[in-house]
Chain A
């Protein structure tokens, strides 16, 4: 092996010391987002993950992915155990450690199982081949007369001759790059993958032993509180830190407008910060929840064509009815249970950072830049992450902790308060969708013109059979394409783009169904040619067991279907609306999902249930209120997220499709919630809600 292969963060000797002996197989996970040209300088280009069979027989999978609740800690282990023929409980997942794990672009977009899983299987198959070869030499039996099972290689002849993986790995250091793609098992042979499996991290989590970044304790560590502006755009005029300087055991950091206080206890640091008298220049933005949509449409970039087909004028000529509507969606917060947190330790020109992040390698690069240390001297370790949902793709707490640790010479924790979390979070962007569509006299959709302001284009591609369509995207959900028009940071939020798009598209499909004189289910089937989508819709409808009638039927039934990056979802719901208070009560949700081959059916159901539950929030209550750069919702007293009492009966259906490679599962179902509840509310009260969230006040207003 060339030395270059270990150019990630440690030199080869140190790497081997950390990883230990055994059999190591390197491989490349084929995520298009992790292609070499998109990686930082100095990262290896020939592999981005590896697995190891240790001398104790334990199997470790090293990946830059992280576990934030989505369950890949279990499902990836299942894929590995299956292909390597080892018991599931002999697998250890080593995740998100930049020193031990090769580069990974981050954990987002429901991509881990889809893109990381298949090469992981191949690497495991490669390792099994190596073990069988070693066993052949060890036992003096030809490889074709051997078989692997439960962590050992056994003679097929029934002689009982057998050698364990541990024995084969002992005293060896074998490194192998996966060159060709070895054949993997057919799903019909699976005994671990595809079987409902309990979470492998749950014992640690029910005992309180599981460590999150916020739980890391180091000798001599200090907790930092940082002076923050009262509003986005406000700048520090002056700060009087004298009252704090006098407190014993508090250290005060001042560098321009960056002021922090550090103490051995986090509450004492917070108390000390309150004593700083600071004056800020108010911010300029004159935006709030009432004028934001107008502002966004006005400041939208020219945009780009997402997809087009046929000829719109021709489609318009075919239409016997034209329907135009505009849909609105407000800002929402990720509101992770664990706020953004980091703990940094700096020794000489070496730094170690424990971070609550979805992107440990991005964090590492940021620390390298902030401290000016060589990349190989900066290690980011990601313990369990307490929720992410896209919000932890970034976060300044990491470099703040690193800078303060370097300055103070002590380990420093920066954990955002809930108020800071609601201030520095990258919210899901507010967005506006304008749709014009047409029907012919037979109830076929003949044209579809879709203008998307700032939602992002995901899930905006029509999957109905429409001869003439044009989909335009003016401003994305984050980064350069979407950031500047908003008064604060925006970014990916579980199912980015899609939550808004599916709400608008599927609300509008219902608008057309009514105009066509059809019930919502029949209208969809009438306009679908995609057999896979029809199958998912039918599966949901059978379980739902209610007959849809032309809306509004007064019954409160709603349905939605969508394609989220290859995962097909159909969701049906039953709601009750209190006409006096405007409160919506979701009674029942049925969700059918075809996500290709399912690795952990139990895990998939948990993700779908979580999506439905979390999704109730952005449907009904969640909206970040702001004015002139100030965030008015700063905690869970006014920013209302779903609670126990909200919970509907939830039924999940995993539509069997094992011949299709596994697709993503962490996000698809949440994208259906806005549309399905809006459609159910319309069916209940005959008033269409064009704005999310459907708060009691908005429902009362609609009812007049």
Chain B
């Protein structure tokens, strides 16, 4: 049975009519045409579909929409503010921390959640927090550097 679900998506209140059992990934990608959130493994093993729900990273392919009721959902499309890139986006570009770019939205959102909790993560902290995000092109070392650069930018230090 379809149900009305009210939540905030990238800062805006949304009313969604959907079966509450459907996974957030598909609702984002097909009902709402927000394709920045990626399908890759479909079973929560790769992190490509990572979005934030109330600032916690979740794998949207495993996250039923009933759980977003009344919550804040942040996807990659919501990161740019007033036309300005988020420091993580800028830092990923500066470090060329991507190749095919398919895992990138999930990587950036995973990093966003990490930096909320730990504004000065070590390389080891980043590896621990991001272990579930896979990058087949092999940009991991650059992603670690980009996250540390973004952290410095966000702390107001010069990169």
Contact = CB atoms under 8 A, between A and B. Distances in A.
Contact of B45 (A610, A635, A645, A650): A635
Interface residues of B, number: 58
A389 B140 CA distance: 18
Interface string B138-152: 111111100000000
A347 interface: no
A294 interface: no
Interface in B12-27: 22-23, 26
A204 B79 CA distance: 13
Interface stretch (A11-19, A81-89, A205-213): A205-213
B43 A337 contact: no
B138 A611 contact: yes
B136 interface: yes
A386 B138 contact: no
A199 interface: yes
A642 B42 CA distance: 19
Contacts of A610: 99, 137-139
A643 B134 contact: yes
A247 B94 CA distance: 50
Interface string B26-64: 100111011111111111011010000000000000000
B14 to A, nearest CB: 17
A614 B103 CA distance: 15
Contact of B105 (A208, A214, A217, A336): A208
B96 interface: yes
Q: Determine which residue in B38, B102, B108 has the highest number of CB atoms from chain A within 10 A of its CB, and name it.
A: B102
A71 interface: yes
A426 interface: no
B154 interface: no
Contact of A386 (B102, B108, B134): B102
Contact of B35 (A205, A208, A336): A208
Given A338-B100, A418-B43, A209 B140 contact: no
B138 A208 contact: no
Contacts of A209: 36
Interface in A378-422: 384-387, 389, 415, 417-418
B73 interface: no
Interface in A316-337: 335-337
Contacts of B94: 198
Interface string A605-643: 010011111100000000000000000000111000111
A206 B30 contact: no
Interface stretch (A261-269, A361-369, A439-447, A454-462): A261-269
Nearest to B130: A644
Interface in A205-247: 205-212, 214-215, 217, 223
Given A336-B136, A644-B131, A645-B131, A69 B100 contact: yes
A70 interface: yes
Contacts of B48: 337
A203 B93 contact: yes
Contacts of A215: 29, 35
A386 B100 contact: yes
Contacts of B77: 207-208
Contacts of A223: 30
Interface in B79-102: 79-80, 85, 88-89, 92-94, 96, 98-102
A622 B112 CA distance: 30
A68 interface: yes
A88 to B, nearest CB: 15
Interface in B103-159: 103-105, 108, 126-128, 130-131, 133-144
A204 B128 CA distance: 27
Contacts of B85: 203, 206-207
Given A206-B108, A265-B30, A612-B138, A338 B96 contact: no
A390 to B, nearest CB: 13
A207 B80 contact: yes
B-side interface mostly: loop
A268 B46 CA distance: 22
Interface residues of A, number: 59
A418 B42 CA distance: 7
Nearest to A388: B100
A5 to B, nearest CB: 34
Contacts of A208: 34-37, 75-77, 105
A175 interface: no
A565 interface: no
Given A266-B26, A614-B136, A205 B104 contact: yes
A311 interface: no
Given A609-B142, A645-B127, A387 B45 contact: no
Contact of A387 (B23, B102, B108): B102
Interface in A646-684: 646-647, 650
A609 B138 contact: yes
A265 B31 contact: yes
A562 interface: no
A207 B89 contact: yes
A202 interface: yes
Nearest to B129: A644
A201 interface: yes
A611 B139 CA distance: 10
Contacts of A167: none
Contacts of B29: 215, 266
Contact of B100 (A387, A415, A611): A387
B98 A614 contact: no
B102 A212 contact: yes
Interface in A264-280: 264-268
Contacts of A198: 93-94, 96
Given A643-B140, A645-B131, 14 more contacts: A205-B101, A211-B35, A215-B29, A265-B22, A267-B23, A268-B22, A337-B137, A384-B101, A386-B38, A415-B39, A418-B41, A606-B99, A610-B139, A636-B41
Pairs of residues from A and B, 8 with the lowest C-beta to C-beta distance, nearest first: A208-B36, A613-B138, A205-B101, A69-B100, A386-B102, A69-B99, A208-B76, A215-B35
Interface of A: 68-71, 198-199, 201-212, 214-215, 217, 223, 264-268, 335-339, 384-387, 389, 415, 417-418, 602, 606, 609-614, 635-637, 641-647, 650
13 contacts: A68-B100, A199-B93, A206-B85, A208-B77, A212-B102, A215-B29, A337-B137, A386-B38, A418-B43, A611-B138, A614-B138, A642-B140, A644-B144
